[in-house]
Chain A
Amino acid sequence: MNAKPLLRRAAAMALAGLARAITGVRPIWQGCSPLGRQRIYFANHASHGDFILLSSCLLPEERERTRAVAGADYWRKNKIRHVLARDLLNTVLVERNWVERAEDPMVIMLDVLKEGQSLIIFPEGTRNMTEEPLLRFRSGLYNLALARPDVELVPCWIENMSRVLPKGAFLPVPLLCRVIFGTPVILEPGEDRHAFLHRSRQALLELDPEHQRALNHD
């Protein structure tokens, strides 16, 4: 019997428990319910802890079929990272660099969706280190929506994780976190790439309580 799935499941449970113990994370199901169709969760990205935090908010059965998409250039840089990403975290690794890449990220992601699994993606493409709340979206989200209109696109706002584990930090500071799940975004017939990406970015941004507060002050 192969030990890897068992190891993975144990690692996933341990990480989810750790994330909860440190951040007391609470999922807020604002626009959808915890159980639904096959999904693509798309979230803001500023910390390595992001996808662990997000998956710790999912129900165990949903967590088991949900995999995060991560940058292969980062996670294949050395052996330890690669083993971590592939065997323990069960991430879907895609090449971000357009010129050097051997495999098309779309093909890899669509293959995973075809197996009935859900995805976690960060459409900003990289960790946001700016003062802006959210960077411009890359087009992967649009291509996925176009190819698989039957899969729900759920915006998820991750709060505070960038303060818990900022870029370059190794130890997390215990702060309370929340993940706010919004209403699924649907690609309208005839909607072009630019309009769709803008609309889904706006849908994600509107979940940010800071953004709401700023709007109320105006």
Chain B
Amino acid sequence: MTETVWLFLGLLGVLTIASAVATALSWRSTRKGDALPSTLANLNSRIKAWWIMVAAISIAFLFGKGGVILLFAFVSFAALREYVTLTHTRRGDHWILLGMFLVIIPVQYYLLWIDWYGLFAIFVPVYCFLAMPALTAISGDTARFLERVSEQQWGIMLSVYCISHVPALLTLPVPGFEDKGLLLIAFLIATVQGSDVLQYVFGKLFGKHKVAPKISPSKTWEGLIGGIISASLLGAALSWLTPFTPLQSGLMAGLACIMGFFGGLVASAIKRDRGVKDWGHMIEGHGGMLDRADSLVFAAPVFFHIVRYFWT
């Protein structure tokens, strides 16, 4: 597990440098007695939140498989709560909603714990998909039936099914890479979250042409392309964490980054439709859990299945 130690030392280094730079910038801008500009204040709280997120992930890693499963079950819970808050629910949906939190989340993550891949892969898309409309019909309220059912199915797919594919990486038996699933998770999170940051940085520095001006003013072609290239390089540099060659590693990171971009775009479209800026307020400076996890939602299942197909 020397890789893990190096990884966290590296992360610690990156965060320390980020904190030092942000502190220096804040000190310089307030020295003249001015108020702290909002961008800098946001940067400060974002970095502070990163420390807490890295600490949470580290603690989960210390507890191994159980810790990681619990951590992502909690991520699913927080994400689903933010999502359902923005949906249209009626009084007749109460039992379905309870079932989503009290049954679907625990079962999906329990299936990972007992390593039953066959059911893990179909529990949500087959059984929950059919059970949810059936139970909604039993409740007898047909107003906006299709809309209500599909909104909740989407929520389960995004917040539970897709996110559960992050800890599912632990269950993949990659030959010659046994018991190193944690590193694969670290690789996925580092490249996807790294690419979010890099897209943001490139967008701020060079951003001119918007990808989807109606959906998100902050997503630009310059940011996207700069982010993909730099995240691929980051992925290649992190290939020592993975069973991939540096070239494969870079390609996987680039793919995760593109999926992450689409995740962010879809999340923005939903938020725009519902008239909110952020999903919630759980993580200071970042918004809600889904604001941080939206890219991971799209990247994780694709990453998982490519590794499963080509490496096991």
Contacts and interface: CB of A to CB of B under 8 A. Distances in A.
A63 interface: no
A173 B101 contact: yes
A171 B81 contact: no
B282 A166 contact: no
A173 B98 contact: yes
Interface in B78-108: 81-82, 84-85, 89, 91, 94, 97-98, 101-102
B89 A163 contact: yes
A13 B77 CA distance: 24
Nearest to A173: B97
A176 B81 contact: yes
A63 to B, nearest CB: 21
B74 to A, nearest CB: 12
A114 interface: no
A175 B280 contact: no
Contact of A174 (B94, B101, B282): B101
B81 A169 contact: no
Contacts of B209: none
B275 interface: yes
A16 B97 CA distance: 23
A169 B85 contact: no
A26 interface: yes
B98 A171 contact: yes
Q: From DSSP, what is the main secondary structure of chain B's interface residues? A: helix
Contacts of B98: 171, 173
Counting contact residues on chain B (CB < 8 A from A), the size range is 10 to 19
Contacts of B280: 24, 176
Q: In the complex, which of the residues B81, B89, B94, B281 has the most CB atoms of chain A within 10 Å of its own CB atom? A: B94
A163 B98 CA distance: 11
A181 B199 CA distance: 38
Nearest to B102: A171
Interface in A163-218: 163, 166, 169, 171, 173-176, 213
B281 A26 contact: yes
A160 interface: yes
A191 to B, nearest CB: 36
Interface string B50-86: 0000000000000000000000000001000110110
A163 B97 CA distance: 10
Contacts of B94: 166, 169, 173
Contacts of B81: 24, 174-176
B85 A176 contact: yes
B84 A24 contact: no
Q: In the complex, which of the residues B77, B82, B85, B280 has the most CB atoms of chain A within 10 Å of its own CB atom? A: B85
Given A166-B94, A169-B94, A175 B275 contact: no
A176 B289 CA distance: 12
Q: In the complex, which of the residues A160, A171, A173 has the most CB atoms of chain B within 10 Å of its own CB atom? A: A173
A171 B89 CA distance: 16
Contacts of A166: 91, 94
Nearest to B89: A163
B85 A213 contact: no
B277 to A, nearest CB: 13
Interface string B280-294: 111000000000000
Interface string B132-155: 000000000000000000000000
A107 B273 CA distance: 50
Contacts of B102: 171
20 contacts: A24-B81, A24-B280, A24-B282, A26-B281, A160-B85, A166-B91, A166-B94, A169-B94, A171-B98, A171-B102, A173-B84, A173-B97, A173-B98, A173-B101, A174-B81, A174-B101, A175-B81, A175-B85, A176-B81, A176-B280
Interface of B: 77, 81-82, 84-85, 89, 91, 94, 97-98, 101-102, 275, 280-282
Nearest 5 interchain pairs by C-beta: A173-B97, A176-B85, A175-B85, A174-B81, A166-B91
Given A26-B281, A213-B275, 9 more contacts: A24-B280, A166-B94, A171-B102, A173-B97, A174-B81, A175-B85, A176-B82, A176-B85, A176-B280
